[in-house]
Amino acid sequence: MAGRPFRREIAEDRVGSSPGQERAAAAGAMGEHYEVRQATIDDVDIVLDLIAEAADWLRNEKTTTQWNRPWPSPEEHVKRVTEGVADNRTWIVWDGHIAVATVTIHRTGSPALWTPVELDTEAVYLHRLVVRRSYAGDGLGAELINWSGQQGRQENPDAEHIRIDVWTDNYELHDYYVRQGFGFVAVRETPDRRPSSRLFQKPLGQALSTRAPRLTPRPGGDLIPEKVSSFGRILVPVLFGLMILRVAPEFMLR
């Protein structure tokens, strides 16, 4: 039975021409500015829709197995997205009233992926980095990576790296991160066999020395996650149940 494709994250792709380049050329959009706002619970559907669009494009246009099936399950995916929003870890980039990108920023990494020695070094961990396809190709993804590093440093002044785990067989995406200054760390096998186990990192100093001129945080939007995460975790079970009721029919596997 056909349903809405599985929703997951993808960073901006840079191979060949893109809708973003065409849009920028047509509208003179290279100098435009975007507002970055911290996502609220009302924005969970917006984040899921950005991820769904990226997953559709990846499935139809690329040869990777990324997101051919939900992992580990559709319900767990929705739960993770909801938790990231409830814990005030998720940001959305807006072009007026259009949500054009999103990223979730954590200050701790997964022990299943990163070794104890690596985790001893403070870092900023990026997840669910998505750029809407019509805005890809003009450097917005690169700016969002650097902005995320700067935002993470505000929260954790001791952070030394930006880190990310990438789908293991998405080779074009590996190349993209290398072009953004990331170095390959390792491919890790995990007990749960997670498919995004190719690890990259880059010195945070590169992000601090690189401006993100088109991204402007919304005034008053810089919340300290620790001050609200406890309340967010209380809300997650309730919100997760409501969200599953709303989106479960859309996650039917084809």
DSSP sequence for 56-82:
HHHHHH--S-TTSS-SS-HHHHHHHHH
Tokens of 137: 């190709």
The 8-class DSSP code of residue 249 comes to G
CA-CA distance, 109 to 249, in Å (whole number)? 32
Q: What is the mean pLDDT of each run of 10 residues along the chain (254 residues)?
A: 39 40 43 89 96 84 63 87 96 96 97 97 96 93 96 96 91 94 96 91 93 81 45 49 47 34
* Nearest CA among 242, 228, 230, 227 for reference residue 44: 242
Assign 245 to helix, strand or coil. Answer: helix
pLDDT of residue 70: 59
Q: Please give the order of strands across the beta sheet that includes 198-203.
A: 183-187, 198-203, 161-166, 123-131, 98-106, 90-95, 34-38, 215-217
Q: Which helix (H) or strand (E) holds 241?
A: helix 225-247
Q: Are 136 and 24 in contact (CB under 8 A)?
A: no
Beta bridge pairs of residue 160: none
Could you check whether the bond before residue 72 is cis, i.e. omega within 30 degrees of 0? yes
